[in-house]
Amino acid sequence: MYGSAVLGFAATVFAARELSNGDFGRFALVFSTTALLQVFVDLTIDEVVIKYGNRYIAREQWGRFRRLVRVGLAVKVAGGALGAACLVGAAFLSPWLWRTGGVRGALLIASLVPLIQQPEGMAGAVLTLRNRYDLRGLFLLWAMGLRLLAVALAAPHGLLTLFGAIVAAQAVSTLSVGAVGFAAFRRYRRAPEEELGEDRAPIRTFAIHSTVASGLLSLRSSLPTVLVGVVAKTNAVAGFRAAQAPQTAFQTLSAPARLVLLAEQTRDVEHGRTERAFALLRRYIGSTTLLACVVTPPAWVFMRPLVRLVYGAKYEPAVNAFRVMLLAAALQLVFGWTRTFPVSIGRVGMRTVGQVVEVATLVPAVLVLGALWGATGAAGGVLAGSVALALFWTVGLVRLPHPVAA
């Protein structure tokens, strides 16, 4: 998983260096819009499959388990189709949405990504249920390697060719991980499908809450870039997108831990070992707090030479944006558990409220500060949203009932 993050980051850096500031700003805007709509309109059924799949496996209710996976796949494909349609709409509305022009054709090509990518999420959920984190990580590495190859080959030929290559890379990735995920699913005990019965309503509610929460979560990384394109010019969009590197790095650093947290804590809760889930949470918070305190100060001090080394001299004006995003990223690292723990304990509604608090703070802050101070102001808006989320969950965690180990 770390290797996949390195390759994904390398793809962004390569695009930033190869493209002009203006074209990289357009690339960032199209990419962020695609990610935003893809997640926001997609029903996050894979989390439901992990939560209830663990329950059905523990109870050996194989008929319901198979029904759950089949329904989940159908929902994912439908969500991908809706995401593609929304991107087509955004393409035709783009001249009226953003101050950055020249993105319509790239958006139309990128609209294929949500539809092609959706089965990949369900395959990953099945691999998680089978505890095959290694395979899931390897296929993330494979997907990012394909994307890096697409960017390296196509970036010199313009945005349209670049996004065409990204679509092709996504198709290869989905086909490969889908085949392995299907093979893993077939290894479960076979049984005739059964109706979900009394679980139907809770699953529907869980899926809605999870979708809203995941959609709101996607706003943290994707929406700010889209908003900067509304209030600032292309160079500010490019600078802000580059400045998201600390956020990407810290999210990547915690990604394997969050994947394990989701699977292990959910399993502990479903098997009546809630105290173990809370113990794992405490270890995560302590470890990430220590890591943030060690990494953040030197990164702040040496940010200018780091930016010059990685992105080149043309991005030095965005150094202050990088530094502000570093603070936001450190806070998000420590509170990364808020993305998975509510799912494990069945409190996804609480996660939704926390994300609403964050987004309600982030959106006006990014718009106002981004209009005033460009990329640095927008980074300040992201930091404000992260602080709001941290305060909400600090109070929320204290108020949650903590089990006592036997």
Q: How far apart are CA 15 and CA 25, in angstroms?
A: 10
Percent of the chain's residues with pLDDT above 90: 33
Torsion of CA 58, 62, 68, 69, to 10 degrees: 100
Upper half-sphere CA count for residue 142 (Cβ side, 13 Å): 17
Q: How far apart are CA 316 and CA 199, in angstroms?
A: 54
Model pLDDT for residues 341-391, shown as the tens digit of each residue: 887 887 877 888 888 899 899 999 999 999 999 999 999 999 999 999 999
In this predicted structure, the answer to whether residue 226 has a pLDDT above a threshold of 90 is: no
Backbone dihedral angles phi then psi of residue 404, each to the nearest 5 degrees: -105, 130
Q: If DSSP codes are grouped into helix, strand and coil, which group holds residue 216?
A: helix
Considering only residues 201 and 322, tell me which one the structure prediction assigns the higher pLDDT.
Answer: 322
Model pLDDT for residues 29-79, shown as the tens digit of each residue: 898 888 877 766 665 677 788 888 888 888 888 998 888 888 888 888 888
Instruction: Say if residues 188 and 131 touch (Cβ distance below 8 Å).
Output: no
In this predicted structure, the answer to whether residue 253 has a pLDDT above a threshold of 50 is: yes
Complete DSSP assignment for 176-214:
HHHHHHHHHHHTSPP------GGGHHHHHHHHHHHHHHH
Tokens linked to 55: 């329950």
Torsion of CA 181, 182, 188, 192, to 10 degrees: 140
Would you give the distance in Å from CA 114 to the centre of its chain? Answer: 14
Residues sharing a CB contact under 8 Å with residue 271, sequence separation 6 or more, in sequence order: 58
pTM score of the predicted model: 0.73
Give the mean pLDDT of 252-270: 79
Model pLDDT for residues 103-147, shown as the tens digit of each residue: 899 999 999 998 898 888 888 888 888 888 788 888 889 999 999
Mean pLDDT of the chain: 86
Residues sharing a CB contact under 8 Å with residue 205, sequence separation 6 or more, in sequence order: none
Highest mean predicted confidence (pLDDT) among 117-121, 126-130, 237-241, 305-309: 305-309
If you search the block for the tokens 């959920």, which residue do you land on? 125
pLDDT for res 215:
67
Tokens linked to 276: 């173990």
CB atoms within 10 A of CB 338: 23
The burial class, CB within 10 Å (0-12 / 13-18 / 19+), for 151 is buried
pLDDT for res 135:
87
Q: How confident is the model at residue 218 (pLDDT cuts 50, 70, 90)?
A: low
Instruction: Say if residues 25 and 241 touch (Cβ distance below 8 Å).
Output: yes
In this predicted structure, the answer to whether residue 268 has a pLDDT above a threshold of 80 is: yes
Which DSSP symbol is given to 403? P
Q: How confident is the model at residue 406 (pLDDT cuts 50, 70, 90)?
A: very low
Q: How confident is the model at residue 12 (pLDDT cuts 50, 70, 90)?
A: confident
Of 154, 30, 64, 1, nearest to 9 by C-alpha is 1
Q: How far apart are CA 80 and CA 86, in angstroms?
A: 10
